[in-house]
């Protein structure tokens, strides 16, 4: 029951992410989504095994606090507040997010999955979150909101991994988090260089780079 509530809240955060133009709010919502993911393993009735507790703690700390902290710190340095002119309008993005969520439900229904159990909503929610992350990556102009999109994309991958939580070694999850760290730090370097070179975080400025 509780995991269904958390999954529903997570899907609602996807709609909030594509609908908001305020970058600070996007970071807050992404952090909230990370906390939801961290709490999910504790609501599946699998017991409080050490690897489950470690995964939950790592997700809450890394996704819910540490990475959003880095993004907020970068935001204060560049003094931007809104994604003013995204590549795709917010109304269209909401419609695309709703369409992607609906298609995720249809696709999950047609997959040969084991019926029932605590993971019934995991596949459609994971697919919808992956699609939302992709939407954020391709529709936003600011580098920092593209980092948020990358974070949401990884959240969808993490949600898929939770379906194997009883069998998945913690080393696998550590590898996923390491990939996320690498992506975030690389994007942090890109953000810094764009800001220094162009006094802006608009990724369109990269087109002006010459040999």
What confidence tens digit (pLDDT) does each residue in 187-209 have?
666 666 556 555 555 555 555 54
Higher pLDDT, 9 or 48: 9
pLDDT score at 211: 44
As a whole number, the mean pLDDT across the chain is: 79
- pLDDT exceeds 60 at position 53: yes
- pLDDT exceeds 80 at position 169: no
Higher pLDDT, 117 or 82: 82
The predicted model scores a pTM of 0.81
113: DSSP letter: P
Provide, rounded to the nearest whole percent, the portion of the chain with pLDDT above 70: 71
Q: 134 near 149, Cβ under 8 Å?
A: yes
Flag the least confident range among 15-19, 78-82, 131-135.
78-82
Among 83-87, 175-179, 190-194, top mean pLDDT goes to: 83-87
Among 99-103, 161-165, 206-210, top mean pLDDT goes to: 99-103
Query: What does the alpha-carbon distance between residue 9 and residue 16 come to, in Å, rounded to a whole number?
Result: 10
Higher pLDDT, 115 or 32: 32
- pLDDT exceeds 50 at position 166: yes
The model's confidence at residue 102, banded by pLDDT at 50, 70 and 90, is very high
The model's confidence at residue 170, banded by pLDDT at 50, 70 and 90, is low
* Sequence ranges of the domains in the chain: 2-208
Flag the least confident range among 38-52, 58-72, 194-208.
194-208
Higher pLDDT, 178 or 42: 42
In the predicted model, what is the mean pLDDT of residues 82-87? 76
């Amino acid at each position: 029951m509780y995991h269904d509530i958390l999954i529903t809240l997570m899907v609602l955060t996807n709609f909030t992410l594509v609908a908001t133009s305020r970058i600070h709010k996007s970071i807050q919502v992404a952090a909230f989504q990370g906390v939801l993911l961290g709490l999910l393993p504790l609501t599946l009735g699998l017991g409080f095994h050490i690897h489950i507790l470690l995964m939950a703690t790592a997700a809450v700390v890394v996704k819910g606090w540490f990475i959003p902290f880095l993004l907020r710190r970068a935001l204060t340095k560049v003094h931007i507040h809104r994604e003013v002119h995204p590549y795709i309008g917010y109304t269209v993005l909401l419609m695309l997010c709703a369409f992607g969520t609906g298609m995720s439900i249809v696709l999950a229904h047609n997959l040969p999955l084991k019926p029932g159990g605590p993971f019934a909503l995991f596949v459609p929610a994971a697919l919808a979150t992956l699609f939302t992350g992709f939407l954020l990556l391709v529709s936003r102009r600011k580098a920092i909101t593209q980092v948020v999109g990358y974070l949401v994309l990884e959240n969808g991958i993490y949600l898929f991994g939770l379906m194997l939580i009883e069998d998945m070694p913690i080393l696998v999850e550590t590898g996923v988090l390491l990939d996320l760290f690498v992506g975030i730090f690389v994007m942090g370097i890109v953000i810094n260089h764009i800001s220094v070179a162009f006094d802006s975080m608009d990724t369109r400025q990269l087109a002006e780079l010459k040999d």
